[in-house]
Amino acid sequence: MFALPLSFQALIRIRDPMPRLSTLSVYRNAVALLAALVWPGAAALAQSDADFLAAKAAFERADRGRLHALAPKLSDHVLAPYVAYWQLKLSLDEATHDSVRAYVSIYPGAPFAERLRGDWLKMLAKRGDWNGFAREYSPAPGEDTELACYGIQYRRQRDGASELGAARALWFTGQATPEACEPLFAELQSRGDLTVADRRARLRLASEAGNVRLAQTIASELPTRDRITEREFREIIRDPQRAMAKGEFAWATAGGRELALFALERAARANAATARLAWVNWRDKLPPADRSYGSARLGFHAARQLHPSANDWYREAGEVTLPAEAHAWRARAALRATAWDDVLAAIDAMPETLRQDADWRYWRARSLAANGKLDDAKAIYVVLASETSFYGMLAAEALGRPFAIPKSLPLEPSAMELAAFGARSDVKRAVKLAQLDLRLESQREWFHVVRTLPDEALLLAADYARRAGLYDRSINTADRTIARHDFALRYLTPFRDEFDAAARDHDVDIAFLYAIARQESRFVRDIVSSAGASGLMQLMPATARWVAKQLGRSDYAPAQIANVDINTQFGAYYFKHWYERLDRMPALAAAAYNAGPGRAQAWRPLLPIEGAVWVETIPFNETRDYVKKVLANSMVYAHALSAPQQTLTARLGVVAPRAVVTAAPASVN
């Protein structure tokens, strides 16, 4: 018989995630709580915290004995629910419905409880315990694909084959799907509800996603006449351009044509211009639909490679169904060519959800204005100008309005309100996890706290997070408000002395430094990215060493990089270095900061183009979004800090053709 974990036995007595505090007790604790809201990174870990981290390490090693021995010491720890979760997780094959249900009921919706519930449901499904599965399962938005497929399996058994339609939608992906989906797909195929054409469609999705293994698997399961062998795939992967140049495909079979399109995809991904030379020699051997698809894929890769003929090549595709990303790049190729009719046509062909993005509303207005439809353009600008975003600011300027921060309606929470919020067990867990540098777990907890709060409660939570030094949580929470906003919380200015000094010492606009730090780190000073970038300004070790050498800092050591003073000084120097060498253009300097100066240079045009077009056609999604947000952030900070004023349009300017610049370490992230 499965026994409840020791820490869980204590936890089942605690059912209220927000303890009921008397007004007097809240008042007495308020001042002490607020005084304690400082970043504790320098404080030594309490023994119980050390035990908690040891328990986490034991869980990760699947060391049940060690975890079981540590659990009694942690029964009163604020993170005891995690210890209980780890114990249950490692013993899930022995667990009972009651033990899992009891645990989940204590923390409804909590991230760790939902993970346990999901794992338990998957285990029940794998056992074939559909009665137990039925007692626990209810479809939820955003559930993972494996659980979704088990849910469909259950409903298929209960309600019949009519439930298989939900599985069909899961087929069309370029990514591998869990084993739980395979019986559903097999039945759909046997019933004729997943056709050979559907399998070829997924083969193309896998090819577009670069998922060669999945493409090979699907191709090997096609009907014999259309089957593509592993050897044929290997030859193309080894040298797609050679395969394109030879053009020796089995044109009479659907499999041969798919192999030709696979070769085009691989070759165009490497070099669209070279792939096109071969493509024009044999594209007429393809049926019109396949030819249009190939032209669209060639145009897509050419657009991402900023080839000047990309828009012309996209035109050759004609009317063709495109994924969202290809729709966007069709519009960007037209933008880069300043072909406003094509921009408008590309945007109007987008799915409605994509067309309503601020990016494409703005460029649609620009296209309409270029075609003389000024009233239609103005109508779009007026709506867009109410948004505090990159394109909202450009829309306001298009209307002749200087950007101004919208009016804030800050909340002024009392000490008792803050203390009551901080007394919530889920808030305590989020804060403690952040203190222990378990950032992902802390973010999940915090999101659970704020996900459904109304505006006033969000502002209270954001203010609490600010006072606790959780600046990233504060900004992200303040960003969630719908009608009542506090822009001082959305655009925090912590570490003011250090930023002032860095801006002054390196003659950099402080608004840009704050804009970069907000985007890079959300002011988490000891954060380290997956790539190894550190601190507020997210400096890579090689970059920091190079800057230290330029500044003559012979005393610099890598351990100092999280120091706020050093990090802001080095970040300011690095940004200024590339700002000066990239025509004093903030957009290019921000791109260099994020993706490296070599890429920022390579993305420059052959002929001068408008800065906003240059930003929109940055090939890297992350860098494109980064540059937009840094520039928009800089506008807000310039107003908030009374820094030098300049319109966003002027800051973007006109990007000149590429030039040779002196090399330096690649970048930060």
Known catalytic residues are 520
218 contacts: CB under 8 Å, gap ≥ 6: 199, 202, 203, 206
Distance CA 203, CA 214 (A): 8
Backbone angles phi, psi at 647, to 5 degrees: -65, 155
Beta bridge partners of 528: 534
Instruction: List the one residue out of 415, 398, 406 whose CA is nearest residue 467.
Output: 415
Instruction: List the one residue out of 411, 476, 402, 414 whose CA is nearest residue 439.
Output: 476
H helices of 424-563, in order, are 425-435, 439-450, 455-467, 471-478, 487-490, 496-506, 510-520, 541-550
The pairing of beta strand 609-610 with beta strand 654-655: antiparallel
426 contacts: CB under 8 Å, gap ≥ 6: 17, 110, 445, 448, 449
User: What does DSSP assign to residue 609?
Assistant: E
CA geometry: angle 190, 192, 197, nearest 5 deg? 115
Cβ atoms of 87 and 112 within 8 Å: the answer is no
Residue 343, number of CB atoms within 10 A of its CB: 28
Distance CA 460, CA 545 (A): 41
Cβ atoms of 486 and 409 within 8 Å: the answer is yes
